[in-house]
Amino acid sequence: MEPALYGTRGIEVVRGEGEFLWDSEGRRYLDFLAGHGAALFGHAHPRLTEVLKRSSETFWTIGGSLQAPSRRILLEKLEEEFPGYACFLCNSGAEAVEGALKLVLALRPGRPRLLALRRSFHGRTLGALGLTFNPRYRRPWQSALLEVEHLEPEELLNSLEKDVAGVFVELLQGEGGLDALDPEFCGELRRRCTETGTLLGVDEIQTGWGRCGALSLARAWKADPDILCFAKGIAGGLPAGLTLWKKNLGGFPPRGHGSTYGGNPLISSVALEVLALLEEELLEQIPEKEARFRKALEGVASPLVRRLRGKGLLQGVELTIPAGPVVKELQEEGVLSLVSGTQVVRFLPPLVTREESFDMAAEALEKVLSRQRGA
């Protein structure tokens, strides 16, 4: 692997359990990086491990033209959860966005414009990269990208006309400083899209599947999207993605899309167990865990803290200083986290995180900020 693609944190991980990881030297880390949000249930969850072991003893992948019980039941379950939506099963968030883009172009031919939000991140494959805002990601590939207008929320509303094929938004921008759309704005966006015949796509790759307290934050905020994209934790961190769209819109042209591995029986079995875990216990726990984590973060006594951002178990601390050095020092204190934007420390706790671990993260942050202030 080329280090320049991802950078390196200088850690070789050899074991994981719950919200913790251990490196090759035996040091334990509180994993609030969680595979960039994909390790939704932490590591080695016993129910997911058991399903994976059991499923691995039969056929793993069969292609899209053959059916398997786990895939069939998963699709049936998704139709129950999202009535009126069709589903394409894929392997990642970027693939889910690529499928969504293809649908927009197929279902709204002759409309030349695509809109997205400034500071958005939708992936780094060529189609998804067109929707992604950050010039640092886009610049080397600019000549090959779709033309997309990146706008502030109010500009976006005012730019919706009948020549716009689709608009793509994140309700909470994972890489954009955890900027959140207002639920009232979502309602107005839906109204304007309906008025102009524009397709509304919502990227819930980081916010969905329980991370923010619901399977779909867009649904909770009544955005009523035409297209939804999910990935990250839908199979507990195994490669999986979903593109959902309203059936009454139509669909892909014949042989217009496909995936060798998407929805394979192994992944489908684990994804079903993920849904069961969410329904049986974890979804209802998110509001309490969010409140517990927010309380711990609110207790961080430092003038370097500007405010808290986020929803559910996607939480950020906005600072008055750059977040990068703070994230680096948190790792030295045994807490793994991420940057969002330039001044937000982003935490992605697994849904199984215990109360004392929230305190551990907050105490480590206070310690780091105390050193940063004195530097």
pLDDT per residue as tens digits for the range 220-274: 888 999 999 999 999 999 999 999 999 999 999 999 999 999 999 999 999 999 9
How many residues belong to the chain? 375
pLDDT of residue 327: 98
* Whole-angstrom distance, CA of residue 314 vs CA of residue 174: 8
Q: Going from the N-terminus, what domains does the chain have, and what CATH number goes with each?
A: 3-45+286-374 (3.90.1150.10), 48-276 (3.40.640.10)
pLDDT at 131 over 60: yes
β-bridge partners, 307: 318
pLDDT of residue 5: 75
Question: How sure is the predictor about 375, in pLDDT bands with cuts at 50, 70 and 90?
Answer: low
Q: What percent of the chain has pLDDT over 70?
A: 98
pLDDT tens profile 177-201: 898 999 999 999 999 999 999 999 9
pLDDT of residue 222: 85
Average pLDDT over residues 13-23: 97
Which letter does DSSP use for residue 40 in this model? T
pLDDT at 3 over 80: no
pLDDT of residue 64: 86
Average pLDDT over residues 295-312: 96
pLDDT of residue 229: 98
**Residues 217 and 172: beta-carbon distance below 8 Å:** yes
